Amino acid sequence: MAFTRERQVPANGLDFFVAEAGEAGAPLVLCLHGFPECWASWRYQLPVLAQSGYYAVAPDLRGYGFTGGPKEADSYRQSLLVEDVMALIQALGYESAILMGHDWGCGLAWQVARQHPDAIEAVIGMSVPYGGPAPEPPTAAMRKLFEDRFFYMLYFQQPALPEQELEADVAHSLRCIFHGLSAEGIADFNAKPDDTGFLQSMPVPDTQPRWMREEDLAYYVERFEHSGFTGPINWYRAMDASWEESREDSHWQIAMPTLFIGGLQDPVIMFGQKALQRMPDYIPDLRTVMLDQCGHWIQMEQAAEVNREILAFLEEIHASERSASKK
């Protein structure tokens, strides 16, 4: 994509593919994508951030795209993912960064911010609310809630089968997922208790949405045909191990300025209402923006509005810093 530069950055034992816009030395905004995505989920944000004086960097995260990663699920524990982010910040020549994350990238941003508060200047999270510590392992909570009904995160715990489904026709899989969890497609999404696969309940769109053109989709397809889905799905398979790693942690506050953006038609927001309500208890310096007619793919579906909110937030915190420095 013409507005970005692309390169490989060695960090934490991996060779991260990154796309970057803006000049190194400007304030760093590190953008963390979700599932099933790649750096290009930030293609509408990188040039805007660069034009506003930031150095915006979006990697393909561990297991994704042209970064790749190990095949073992244990290599996707939260502690390693946090190490990836900290190592990337340092490899880019910085001691601190503004973190921006969506979906799994949002969850990762929360964990980096709470564990390394001195290295994170601000957080912009999208789609996944931060609710502090969980009382039990994620899969145990999901089994209690869904019992014998189908739920994709539990389905993803199975070996090989989810990959076989999604890799059978990568273009079809991505087309269905992006449409099915968008504001346009969610009305037709009809998950059934006896589903046996992730894609069964997702309608096949007649046309691509304006924010995911055919050439955009082809770019995603190329990356998943290269990497496969094992690495990305391993983020789900490592959920319980990640919970075990952090169960004794005592510090769950996120102190730095934080912006959270959610879509009112996003099923993750619908599922995460309790966490959304708890966020102010754990993030005292929080601003929350909820966008109507917006599904899960927030920064793509409503790119212009999201960009306005991001820039207003960044200007607010930098104005506060300038004011404080004059005192």
Per the structure, the count of domains in the chain is 1
Provide the pairing of β-strand 28-32 with 14-21: unpaired
Q: Quick one: pLDDT at residue 269?
A: 95
CA proximity to 191, closest of 239, 225, 146, 158: 146
Q: Quick one: pLDDT at residue 200?
A: 87
- Which structural domain, as residue segments, surrounds residue 286? 5-326
Run means of pLDDT, 10 residues per run, the chain, 327 residues: 85 98 97 98 98 98 96 97 98 98 98 98 98 95 92 95 97 95 82 82 86 96 97 98 94 97 95 94 98 97 98 92 66
pTM (2 d.p.): 0.96
Q: Quick one: pLDDT at residue 293?
A: 95
Q: Quick one: pLDDT at residue 203?
A: 83
Torsion angle of alpha carbons 153, 157, 161, 163, nearest 10°?
Answer: 70
Which residues form the catalytic set?
103, 296
DSSP calls for 186-243? GGG----TT--SSSTTSPPPSS--TTS-HHHHHHHHHHHHHH-SHHHHHHHHTHHHHH
Q: What is the CATH number of the domain that holds 306?
A: 3.40.50.1820
